């Protein structure tokens, strides 16, 4: 057991719980406060929250593991492309904030009707539950390495703590803890790197023991870099945990500026987890790749510094897990329960149901995490599932004046089927499944709009009529 590192991490976790209690007492009075923070989130909190959500288990443990494996230094593009993607995403978030919706499926509900709304809600819930599982898995790995407890116990602890502060403070707790988590992520990694390099014999010593090509900045391949960029643009636009920050911002200008600023913040530490993976490869050949980050931190940095760095990764994974949990639960409560089951559900009922949903999602995610799946593979599949089909209705449907309801549901169905088929086919020609699915969806969307115009079909309601 690493005593000082454990003390730092426990102090951080207690702080997170304290923020949850504070938010529950002073910030959360209604379901709107729980789900979208009363639409009162400012610029810095929007930017930090978006950044913290992007840098989760896949972007820390996962990137270090891929750098340890086949990708080498170029694994950092997994994060850098996310930062680049936030620039065009911000402009879509600008229009999304204008809708005054509570949840992402609500954004297109009135423009494209119940079939599009229901299908999108289901895809979002499946994807977000899967993403929650990947963050719980990463958190459990760190808990286990730090305390000497079993992996299963680590997963249980990570799940319980994340559930507690999420059900207490909702999105207010999310954005407040995200700000602290963003600081922990940045400072933890940046402070740890000099110590780790020194104890590994210096940079030249590390380089001398790396396989040929592992320092190639573009070893990942230009196709994969472009695929990742496109995947992030599509998946962020259609991601409930991301869009919730835009919907909760004070106005549409903050939604845009916060998105762009978050991209800059992500670029600051994009290649640091990859560097940690390379050091692990040089120093600890033969270990499980998923353990590269934790073992390097605990073995090569002073314990207090390792504590900060490990608290940083817990911050990263938990900031993503809490948003994914809340996103799934709020979509069920607002878009499924209130929309289709109990239309007269009270504000208090939605509040209670959302909190119960967080618990259910946490339990399901923890059960999946115990299988120890590959984080990056599962994350990219979840991104595709929620994004490929819905991309055209979300991105184009918010901007185009003339659209039809038929075009929306057709794009969602054909794009989703195409994305899943391309994934099962092994993503031939180096083209990602999200790219193919979104492309099929966009073509379907535009063709049906053209047909609708030719037939004189009435347009879907304009943007300003879409809302709560």
Tell me, which fold does domain 3-372 have in CATH?
Sodium/glucose cotransporter (1.20.1730)
Spatial contact of 415 and 392, defined as CB atoms under 8 Å apart = yes
φ and ψ of 41, to 5 deg: -85, 130
| Residue whose pair of structure tokens reads 């299988």 in the numeric block | 371
Whole-angstrom distance, CA of residue 253 vs CA of residue 244: 15
- What pLDDT, on the 0 to 100 scale, is given for residue 52? 81
Each residue's pLDDT tens digit, 49-70 = 898 877 766 788 789 999 999 8
Q: pLDDT by residue for the chain (468 residues), tens digit each?
A: 567 767 877 887 788 788 878 887 778 788 888 888 888 899 999 998 898 877 766 788 789 999 999 899 999 999 999 999 999 999 989 988 988 888 888 888 878 888 999 999 999 898 899 888 888 888 888 778 777 778 898 889 889 988 988 888 788 877 887 888 788 777 778 888 999 999 999 999 999 999 989 999 999 989 889 988 988 888 888 888 888 899 999 999 999 999 999 999 898 888 999 999 999 999 999 898 888 988 898 889 888 887 777 777 777 677 778 888 988 999 999 999 999 999 898 888 998 999 999 999 999 999 988 887 777 677 778 888 888 899 999 888 888 889 999 999 999 999 999 999 999 998 898 888 988 999 999 999 999 999 999 998 888 877 554 444
Spatial contact of 262 and 47, defined as CB atoms under 8 Å apart = yes
Classify burial at 208, counting beta carbons within 10 Å of its beta carbon; exposed 0-12, middle 13-18, buried 19 or more: exposed
Question: What contacts 285, CB < 8 A, 6 or more positions away?
Answer: none
- What pLDDT, on the 0 to 100 scale, is given for residue 463? 59
- What pLDDT, on the 0 to 100 scale, is given for residue 1? 56
Give a three-class secondary structure readout of the chain.
Answer: CCHHHHHHHHHHHHHHHHHHHHHHHHCCCCHHHHHHHHHCECHHHHHHHHHHHHCCCHHHHHHHHHHHCCCHHHHHHHHHHHHHHHHHHHHHHHHHHHCCCCCHHHHHHHHHHHHHHHHHHHHHHHHHHHHHHHHHHHHHHHHHHHHCCCHHHHHHHHHHHHHHHHHHHHHHHHHHHHHHHHHHHHHHHHHHHHHHHHHCCCHHHHHHCCCCCCCCCCCCCHHHHHHHHHHHHHHHHCCHHHHHHHHHECCHHHHHHHHHHHHHHHHHCCCHHHHHHHHHHHHCCCCCHHHHHHHHHHHHCCHHHHHHHHHHHHHHHHHHHHHHHHHHHHHHHHHHHHHHHCCCCCHHHHHHHHHHHHHHHHHHHHHHHCCCCCHHHHHHHHHHHHHCCCHHHHHCCCCCCCCCHHHHHHHHHHHHHHHHHHHHCCCHHHCCHHHHHHHHHHHHHHHHHHHHHHHCCCCCCCHHHCCC
- What pLDDT, on the 0 to 100 scale, is given for residue 401? 86
pTM of the model: 0.80
Whole-angstrom distance, CA of residue 333 vs CA of residue 355: 9
Categorise residue 427: left if φ over 0, alpha if ψ from -120 to 50, beta otherwise: left
* Domain residue ranges of the chain, discontinuous segments joined by +: 3-372
How many CB atoms neighbour CB 147 within 10 A? Answer: 17
């Amino acid at each position: 057991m690493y005593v000082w590192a454990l003390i730092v991490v426990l102090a951080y976790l207690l702080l997170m719980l304290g923020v949850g209690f504070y938010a529950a007492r002073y910030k959360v009075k209604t379901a709107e406060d729980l789900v979208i923070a009363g639409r009162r989130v400012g610029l810095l909190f929007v930017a930090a929250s978006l950044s913290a959500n992007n840098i989760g288990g896949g972007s820390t443990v996962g990137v270090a593991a891929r750098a340890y494996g086949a990708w080498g230094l170029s694994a950092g593009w997994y994060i850098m492309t996310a930062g680049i993607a936030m620039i065009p995403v911000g402009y879509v978030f600008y229009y999304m904030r204008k809708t005054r919706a509570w949840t992402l499926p609500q954004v297109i509900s009135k423009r494209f009707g119940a079939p599009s709304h229901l299908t999108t809600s289901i895809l979002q819930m499946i994807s977000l539950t899967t993403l929650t599982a990947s963050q719980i898995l990463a958190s459990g790995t760190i808990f286990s390495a730090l305390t000497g407890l079993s992996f299963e116990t680590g997963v249980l602890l990570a799940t319980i703590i994340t559930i507690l502060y999420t059900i207490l403070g909702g999105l207010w707790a999310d954005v407040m803890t995200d700000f602290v988590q963003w600081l922990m992520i940045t400072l933890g990694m940046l402070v740890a790197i000099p110590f780790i390099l020194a104890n590994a014999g210096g940079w030249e010593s590390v380089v001398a023991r790396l396989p040929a090509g592992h320092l190639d900045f573009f070893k990942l391949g230009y196709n994969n870099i472009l695929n990742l960029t496109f995947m992030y643009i599509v998946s962020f636009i259609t991601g409930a945990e991301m869009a919730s920050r835009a919907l909760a911002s004070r106005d549409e200008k903050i939604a845009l500026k916060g998105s762009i600023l978050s991209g800059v913040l992500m670029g600051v530490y994009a290649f640091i987890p990859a560097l940690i993976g390379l050091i692990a490869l040089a120093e600890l050949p033969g270990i499980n790749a998923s353990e590269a980050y934790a073992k390097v931190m605990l073995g090569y940095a002073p314990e207090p510094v390792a504590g900060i760095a490990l608290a940083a990764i817990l911050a990263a994974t938990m900031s993503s897990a809490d948003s994914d949990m809340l996103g799934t639960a709020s979509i069920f409560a607002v878009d499924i329960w209130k929309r289709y089951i109990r239309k007269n559900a009270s504000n208090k009922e939605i509040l209670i149901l959302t909190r119960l949903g967080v618990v259910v999602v946490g339990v399901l995610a923890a059960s999946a995490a115990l299988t120890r799946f590959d984080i990056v593979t599962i994350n990219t599949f979840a991104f595709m599932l929620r994004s490929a089909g819905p991309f055209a209705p979300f991105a184009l449907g918010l901007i185009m004046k003339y659209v039809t309801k038929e075009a929306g549901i057709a794009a969602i169905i054909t794009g989703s089927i195409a994305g899943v088929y391309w994934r099962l086919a092994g993503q031939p020609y180096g083209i990602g499944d999200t790219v193919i699915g979104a492309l099929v969806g966009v073509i379907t969307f535009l063709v049906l709009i053209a047909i609708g115009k030719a037939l004189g079909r009435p347009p879907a309601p304009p943007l300003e009529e879409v809302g709560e």
